Amino acid sequence: MTSVAKASIEPRAKGDPVGNGVFAALTLAVAVLFYAVIAVIGSEYLYFAGYVVLQFVVLATAWNILGGYCGYVNFGSAAFFAMGAYTTICITTIASEYAKSAVGAAIGAVPPGVLVVLMVVLAGIISGLVGLGMGYLTLRLRGVFFSIATLALSVVLQTLVVNWDFVGGSRGAYVIRPNEFPLLPGGFIAYLFVLMLLLVVVALCVSRGIERSRLGFGFAAIRDDEMAAEAAGVPTLRLKLIATTISGALMGMAGAPFPYYIGYLQPQSAFGLEYAVNAIAMPMVGGTQSWIGPLVGAVLLGSFQQWATVTISSVLNLLIVGLLLIFFVIVAPNGITGFFRDLIYRRRRSGGGSGS
């Protein structure tokens, strides 16, 4: 997929004025500010819509670690997302089905606010392991063949879930979202919103940290020329496994609170096409070269979809995404961030004599 791996003209920035710790603090500050604005407006709709956009930021950022940095296009994002969601379903079902047993009673005794956080962690572990497994099975495949294999993984997992009665099978399963949450004014949905906001902070820090580390350096080498990377002694298989694991774990974490958000989870919605498509479209629209691209793409496309759902039609969403994707592939193949970076670079070169 050369279009995905295509870099902007400008070399990557040298030096690193903002350390990882500072970046984390800054991101957290922006997140707090963002929450404060939403909380002051106080509309419940904003929590619902914002949650979805934030969830896509995490998904897009996670996809980009494998797809953007390493150049391996994963079509199976929905599978990892659904795995996170079904982790929650599985645990809550254990609590209700085996309420009398020690395990069930113990889970039932945990307050939902804490349980969601535990689910996020558990989903991260499970999806990370599945990502690792997927890596072992598929990473000897390259290009389109890898992508098809990830798509197959998604289909296989969906079939398993549809036929697994314990988690509701094809009928789906309920999770009762409590209305109130003691610490926040907006109720439980506000809490889910804050949780997803924190996941965004985590995802962005991980993504940016990788980008500027030796790991990211090795990823870039794999993306540019895997055989040459191997010949230079880059442990390509190990690095790719790290990428699938981290990417998968973050996607699963994004999916874990989803049953609480939606209330009633069906396989068709958890494995929905919109997750697989958006996880690819958002980084490509925003730019796959750096951590900021998926953020820009997800915020723009995600918000646009939320707006379109209300004003135009909820069915037309994916059509709009598809059209935008075609538009960007033609007009700005390096995404929005790549487009502006090239623009600045060209201007600087034509204006200021000897560049860099």
Rule CB under 8 A: which residues touch other proteins? Answer: 5-7, 9, 11-12, 14, 214, 217-218, 220-221, 223-225, 227-235, 356
CB atoms < 10 A from the CB of 201, how many? 21
- Whichever of 14 and 100 has its CB closer to other proteins, that residue is 14
Sequence-separated contacts (24+) of 173-180 with Cβ below 8 Å: 173/89, 173/93, 173/259, 173/264, 173/265, 174/263, 174/264, 174/265, 175/88, 175/89, 175/92, 175/259, 175/260, 175/263, 175/264, 175/265, 176/263, 177/112, 177/260, 177/261, 177/263, 178/112
- Whichever of 103 and 228 has its CB closer to other proteins, that residue is 228
Compute the least distance from the CB of residue 230 to other proteins, in Å: 5
- Whichever of 19 and 235 has its CB closer to other proteins, that residue is 235
Compute the least distance from the CB of residue 241 to other proteins, in Å: 14
- Whichever of 106 and 231 has its CB closer to other proteins, that residue is 231
Compute the least distance from the CB of residue 20 to other proteins, in Å: 20
- Whichever of 203 and 221 has its CB closer to other proteins, that residue is 221
Compute the least distance from the CB of residue 356 to other proteins, in Å: 5
Compute the least distance from the CB of residue 142 to other proteins, in Å: 14
**β-strand partners of 173:** 265
- Whichever of 171 and 214 has its CB closer to other proteins, that residue is 214
The torsion region of residue 341 among left (phi > 0), alpha (psi -120 to 50) and beta comes to alpha
Compute the least distance from the CB of residue 5 to other proteins, in Å: 7
